[in-house]
Structure 1
Amino acid sequence: MVRAAVLIACSLMAPLAMADTSTFRQALDAARNDDWETLSRMESALDDNHPLEAYLEFHRIRVGLPELPPEKIQAYAETYSDSPLPGDVVDMAIVAYGKAKRWDALLTVSETAPREVALQCYYYQAKLANNDESALQEAARLWAHGSSRPNACDPLFDAARQAGVIDDKAIWERQRLAFEAGNYSLMRYLNRLLEGSDYETAGNWLKKLYRSPDSLSDLPRGLSGEQKEMLREAGLFRWIYTDTIAARKWFEKQATQITNDDARESLGRRLAWYSTIRGIEENRAWLDQWLESHSDVELLSQRARRAVIEQNWEATAHWIRKLPAEEQADSRWRYWLSRALEATGEEDTARELLQQAAKGRNFFAFLAADRLGEPYRFSDAPYSATVDFKAPKAVNRIVLLQELEEDTAAHREWLWLLWHSDREQQRALADYALKKQWYSLAVEASIQSKSWDTLAWRFPPAYRAQFEKEGVENDLDPWLAMSVSRRESAFNPRARSGVGASGLMQLMPATARQVAKEANQERPTQAMLFDQNVNIGLGTRYLAELLEQFNGNRLLALAAYNAGPHRIDNWLEEEDDKAVPADVWVESIPFRETRDYVQAVLTYRVLFIGLHDDQPRTAQLMTDMESESRYSLSMLE
């Protein structure tokens, strides 16, 4: 595979004399629509060896499969080896050859097992067709999973079952995996496969335990000892989730019935986890005793967090001090230990800890700096080039793809280039992207090169004019909206989440439509949400509406932006005498994603202002109203 040392050495191709973007657009659209006559006509008007020729050839390969010989696939991969497209073509060929049962052709284009499960199933079918019996063991490995597998795997699994490699025990063990994954439909399917086998009764009981885990003490005598052991483990696993208190009582009295030491330890940890994150006071004595004898960093962190939420400062100090030294050195725990010691009268030590915490560049470091009345420390490290940068050919493709509004393809080209570059080359590419105002690509390059202290790449003032314009129109701080965009999409206008959130500010289509309707604006289409101006306009308006709904409190509004406004009421105490300070409320947000989100956006805003606005680097994290308020439902009145 071509390495970046070669790519970077290739000088940027001569200017394309403004290659006819419109002509290539027509050619690409024709290729996608299998209009080969138009494609041939458009290609004749393009320069020979057009930088994006690989994208047209891709569609010729696509339409030619599965009849194309594998040598054509190999030739394509060799010709366009500095592009991500050969990998796509090989994957496409594996599927096409697999469906056509052209096993020798498949193995020619894929000498090693692919990563994707469906492709692996085709690959091992090809191996099996060539009398490679090791494919059956790979089938058993792919089978052992708690989720449904692609349809492409069915012939491979059938072969493994016929050969006895996937036997009744393997079916039962997969049913247990489906049980633990909460996949009841897969459990039922697998249970039918066990009819008439020695595992039929165990399979039926596994289904019963999923619905009624408290039945684990009523297992019938006809089961083998091994089956009973596995069912007890499964039932307790489920019971801990459905009724943590009852499960703890059973575990305290009957734990010896779980004879496997590793299983008993794992179930104890699961019980401790749910007892902690759910704040179950009735389990507290058992939990604390368990934690004293287990050095589990994640659980100790959660227990310390629970003590913070309850404002039990003695317990907070105790559990933080149980953490490893490197964990205690984190700004978050130094901050909370300082708060605990201050509350218990150790003010000098508390101040020392605050000073140490304030040396960081994160939410809790900035909180510490605010409590000390000190400026924030950014630890910025400006970039200094060590070698002259010569842009590789891939950059030409990225430029043209952006002109064609093929932003997803441009982003993939950029990622491929970064993955095939060493760190210094990645840093050079980050600097190049920033100069070209390719904001999302600069951020991506900063991540790939781990340039955490080169803040210019990580926090560029992307689309600043548009954010400022919409900020004026919606009476909204543009830096806050920009920070939301940075957190949501890293400034990628074409970003789209698995649930459909789209664009710079990751708007859900239904939310965008509602906001547009209230503003008497055009109903936005999916394509419109990928337009930076439309997305910023609707996103800033929605953020402004949330701020109005939550009386200007950005902590509440940001939590609502991430998790939905309907959840905020449930995250605030009903009674004023149980109201908590701002920092404790942020730590108490039940969803880790939302806790991190609120902290990140406010931290990013501080960084944007400190880097790009002429304001002092102090007292920017929270307003006086936000930091001095006590958080309860009365805030929303």
Structure 2
Amino acid sequence: MKRLAILTPLVALAATFSLPGVVFAQPSGDDVLLQMQQAARKQDSKALAALLPATQGHPLEVWAQYWALKARLDSATSQEVEDFLQRWRGTYQEDRLRNDWLLLLGQRRDWAEFERLHTDFRMQDDKQLRCYDLAIASMEGRLPAHAGTQLQQLWLDQPASDDGCTYAASTLYAAQQLPAQTVWQRARLGAERNQLGTARDALAIAAPQHVGPLATLFKSPLQYLTTGKTTPPAALATLALIRLAASDPDQAAQLLRTRWQKTLSAEERDWVWGVIGKVAARRLSDDALDYFAEVQQLADLNDDSLAWLARAALRAGQWGLVQQAIAAMSTAQQQDSTWVYWKARTLLAQGTPQGQEQAQALLDSIAGVDGFYEQLAREDLGQAVLPPPEPQPPTAEEAARARANPGLARALYAIRIGLRSEGVREWNYTTNLHQPGGMNDRELLAAAQLACQAQVWDRCINTSERTRGFASWQQRYPMPFKDEVVTRARNIGLDPAYVYGLIRQESRFIMDARSHVGASGLMQVMPATAKWTAKKIGMTDFQPSMINQHDVNITIGTAYLKLALDDFDGSMVLAAAGYNAGPGRPRNWRNGPVLDAAIWAENVPFTETRDYVKKVLANTTNYAAAITGQPQSLRSRLGQVGPKDTPVAYNKALP
């Protein structure tokens, strides 16, 4: 009965969409698709082939066909691929398979077929393919201007080693169009990230004679630096010092000062000092700025090290050093609202009329209501946070076009039967402004409304966030289960806006959301935390299976949030950090100088938690404006953060 209760609305929903020539399948067809999804994840080509015939005529048949062909793409013929591309022309799956096939052609070095198909690739979101394209251009002697710079950006930005950019780097290096320094920078990034393969692939290009010691260097950098019979080459010593800094920055600093300072080049020394400073800054160590002070040229540091230099300087109140760090960042990073805001603050700190004028212009360039620094900039300009006027709702014609869009229909159908990943990807592709026939603001508004009506809140929010000429607060900040959330929050002394701000960041209101660490439901509660909290509030009938019930999840999640807020003496910033990273970490992170909470949040060592805290607080401010209809202040919710100054002890039992 439960299965039928879930599927019946899906069939009704699907019937509202217009998919010409397609008859919607019965629930058994949905089950086959779910089985094929699991088989595809296991690359079980035999199971996929056996299940495929049962999907004929299903509205998601294209997914079945894609999975079946993708699983055996290594042995597929060009004609089979071409037949798929022609049959499903214009769909997300067509472009995705073209991407898969192009990667395979690149690995096979089949450049003629690669070039023929690459021109029709619409997404243009795969950096490997862009790298292959640069390699082909180099081989054909038609490299565009600044090709080496383009490849450098692509290659250095890749999080891990891949064939496309590694092959392009090798090709351009051999043609003397890529400097050796870039290859060594890639190797250093591999050392920073503890990616042996990345470093090995880089060295194989420019210094294959140095590949042998890499495994030992990565495993035991201190031993490699101190116990060898011969002195390691400076370039390899640089990699070893970087690896050592990851676990022991003080030891790395001592070795660099006493043994390697004169051996390494100035650029190598600067890079290592930058890594040492970065690791120390992430540990909130007072030594961080001393380590950064050893850097001779800030231009030698990468953006990540420069960001941590700026954060450490903010923590120490050294505004001039903040300004120097930002000035050394890449143009792209300087344009990020984080660093636009802090550059403005450095100019304000100068106290000069010229600095004031420049700061006002910078703040004005990012001021808004959509993000943390955008809201702070708005407040610094003397403007409160208020929702913008709602745009005119989609007309009947605009709504009808959204309902009739095959890509949106397939996406919603997929999400409703449990193919969430597939549905989200197809939805994003269909609404992407960068694709031919991509949606304008009014079309995005109508698509977002369609998702809202289907209660697929994450697509509602994300799609609405992409409009530029106007913003619908009703779409961007929805309030499902409003009566339950508001009543429950107020009954236990929580701001409902804070609860909604957290839910929006945690799950985007996906009730069956489950994180990679096992957190569940709207408020992403961990099983052990749910059990502990239920007992704490006297919920005697709680069972772990109940955590995805929205009312239970709200009850337990809000109770835990209130306990965390009380533990941190009412600090929304600290409680949000504790909710995400566990209460023990922010208890330690707050020990130090008393800081503006914005500076404290920017110095949170974990990237995920740092981003989380800022987004929850910005969301909270916007929800408060939506709920109360009154002007709101983000800064008033931030306050200051410093060591615990109340006699009430921490609740050590809080998980």
TM-score after normalising by structure 2? 0.64
**Distance verdict in 2 for CA 1:375–1:103, change over 3 Å:** closer
- Pair 1:75-2:83 in alignment: yes
- 1:493 Cα shift? 4.0
Q: Which residue of 1 aligns with 2:271?
A: 266
Q: Deviations over 1:325-353 (max 9, x none)?
A: 97898344545765x579x9x9x979x97
**Distance verdict in 2 for CA 1:530–1:283, change over 3 Å:** closer
Q: How does 1:55-204 map to 2 (within 5 A)?
A: 55=63, 57=65, 71-86=79-94, 179-182=191-194, 202=213
* Mean Cα deviation higher: 20-29 or 458-467: 20-29
**Kept after mapping to 1: 8 A contact 2:283/2:605:** no
Q: Which residue of 1 aligns with 2:496?
A: 478
**Distance verdict in 2 for CA 1:255–1:510, change over 3 Å:** same
TM-score after normalising by structure 1? 0.65
- 1:254 Cα shift? 4.7
- 1:602 Cα shift? 1.6
- Pair 1:306-2:312 in alignment: yes
Q: Distance in 1 between matches of 2:251 and 2:217?
A: 22
- Pair 1:316-2:319 in alignment: yes
Q: Distance in 1 between matches of 2:213 and 2:65?
A: 55
Q: Distance in 1 between matches of 2:489 and 2:384?
A: 25
Secondary structure of the corresponding residue to residue 429 of structure 2 = helix
Q: Which residue of 1 aligns with 2:543?
A: 523
Q: Distance in 2 between matches of 1:434 and 1:294?
A: 47
Q: Which residue of 2 aligns with 1:440?
A: 458
**Kept after mapping to 2: 8 A contact 1:503/1:529:** yes
Secondary structure of the corresponding residue to residue 468 of structure 1 = helix
**Kept after mapping to 1: 8 A contact 2:23/2:58:** no
- Pair 1:401-2:406 in alignment: no
Q: Distance in 2 between matches of 1:369 and 1:635?
A: 36
- 1:180 Cα shift? 4.8
Q: Distance in 2 between matches of 1:438 and 1:502?
A: 17
Task: Could you tell me which runs of 5 or more consecutive residues in structure 1 were left unpaired when the two chains were aligned.
Answer: 1-10, 124-142, 157-172
**Distance verdict in 2 for CA 1:581–1:28, change over 3 Å:** closer
Q: Which residue of 1 aligns with 2:222?
A: 211
Q: Distance in 2 between matches of 1:175 and 1:368?
A: 39
- 1:257 Cα shift? 1.4
**Kept after mapping to 2: 8 A contact 1:587/1:595:** yes
- 1:484 Cα shift? 1.0
Q: Which residue of 1 aligns with 2:235?
A: 230
Q: Distance in 1 between matches of 2:71 and 2:216?
A: 51
From 30, 39, 53, the counterpart of 1:25: 30
Q: Deviations over 1:472-519 (max 9, x none)?
A: 565533321211122223334454444444443333444345445653
- Pair 1:596-2:611 in alignment: yes
**Kept after mapping to 1: 8 A contact 2:522/2:550:** yes
Secondary structure of the corresponding residue to residue 559 of structure 2 = helix
- 1:444 Cα shift? 2.2
- Pair 1:255-2:228 in alignment: no
Q: Deviations over 1:85-124 (max 9, x none)?
A: 44666789999x99xxx999xx89x96699999x99xx9x
Secondary structure of the corresponding residue to residue 522 of structure 2 = coil
- Pair 1:330-2:340 in alignment: yes
Q: Distance in 2 between matches of 1:400 and 1:198?
A: 55
Q: Distance in 1 between matches of 2:542 and 2:467?
A: 41
Q: Which residue of 2 aligns with 1:560?
A: 578
Q: Which residue of 2 aligns with 1:126?
A: none
From 514, 534, 540, the counterpart of 2:558: 540
Q: How does 1:400-479 map to 2 (within 5 A)?
A: 400-419=413-432, 420=435, 421-424=438-441, 425-434=443-452, 437-448=455-466, 453-468=471-486, 470-471=488-489, 475-479=493-497
Q: Distance in 2 between matches of 1:275 and 1:300?
A: 13
**Kept after mapping to 2: 8 A contact 1:145/1:178:** no
Q: Distance in 2 between matches of 1:544 and 1:178?
A: 42
**Distance verdict in 2 for CA 1:633–1:455, change over 3 Å:** same
From 605, 625, 632, the counterpart of 1:618: 632
- Pair 1:605-2:617 in alignment: no
**Distance verdict in 2 for CA 1:262–1:517, change over 3 Å:** same
Q: How many residues align?
A: 557
Secondary structure of the corresponding residue to residue 262 of structure 2 = helix
- 1:417 Cα shift? 0.8
Q: Deviations over 1:157-205 (max 9, x none)?
A: xxxxxxxxxxxxxxxx9998865543579999xxxx9xxx976985687
Q: Distance in 1 between matches of 2:209 and 2:313?
A: 49
Q: Which residue of 2 aligns with 1:489?
A: 507
Q: Which residue of 2 aligns with 1:5?
A: none
- 1:560 Cα shift? 0.2
Q: Deviations over 1:403-439 (max 9, x none)?
A: 4344333323212212342444445433543455542
- Pair 1:632-2:635 in alignment: no
Task: Could you tell me which runs of 5 or more consecutive residues in structure 2 were left unpaired when the two chains were aligned.
Answer: 1-15, 40-46, 133-154, 168-183, 328-333, 650-655
Q: Which amino acid aligns with 1:306?
A: A
- Pair 1:573-2:573 in alignment: no
Q: Which amino acid aligns with 1:53?
A: E
**Distance verdict in 2 for CA 1:37–1:386, change over 3 Å:** closer
**Kept after mapping to 1: 8 A contact 2:525/2:557:** yes
**Kept after mapping to 1: 8 A contact 2:276/2:291:** no
Q: Distance in 2 between matches of 1:204 and 1:79?
A: 48
**Kept after mapping to 1: 8 A contact 2:273/2:291:** no
- 1:604 Cα shift? 1.0
- 1:363 Cα shift? 3.9
- 1:566 Cα shift? 1.7
Secondary structure of the corresponding residue to residue 384 of structure 2 = coil
**Kept after mapping to 1: 8 A contact 2:253/2:273:** no
- 1:556 Cα shift? 1.9
Secondary structure of the corresponding residue to residue 544 of structure 2 = coil
Q: Distance in 2 between matches of 1:88 and 1:554?
A: 42
Secondary structure of the corresponding residue to residue 261 of structure 2 = helix
RMSD: 6.0
**Kept after mapping to 1: 8 A contact 2:267/2:300:** no
Q: Which amino acid aligns with 2:505?
A: R
**Kept after mapping to 1: 8 A contact 2:244/2:251:** no
Q: Distance in 2 between matches of 1:309 and 1:144?
A: 29
**Kept after mapping to 1: 8 A contact 2:24/2:57:** no
Q: Deviations over 1:216-247 (max 9, x none)?
A: xx6544x7xxx623333223333444234762
Q: Which amino acid aligns with 1:433?
A: A
Q: Distance in 1 between matches of 2:233 and 2:518?
A: 44
**Distance verdict in 2 for CA 1:475–1:74, change over 3 Å:** farther
**Distance verdict in 2 for CA 1:583–1:546, change over 3 Å:** same
**Kept after mapping to 2: 8 A contact 1:240/1:270:** yes
**Kept after mapping to 1: 8 A contact 2:161/2:197:** no
Percent identical: 20
Secondary structure of the corresponding residue to residue 413 of structure 1 = helix
Q: Deviations over 1:255-281 (max 9, x none)?
A: 33124x543443343345446555655
Secondary structure of the corresponding residue to residue 233 of structure 2 = helix
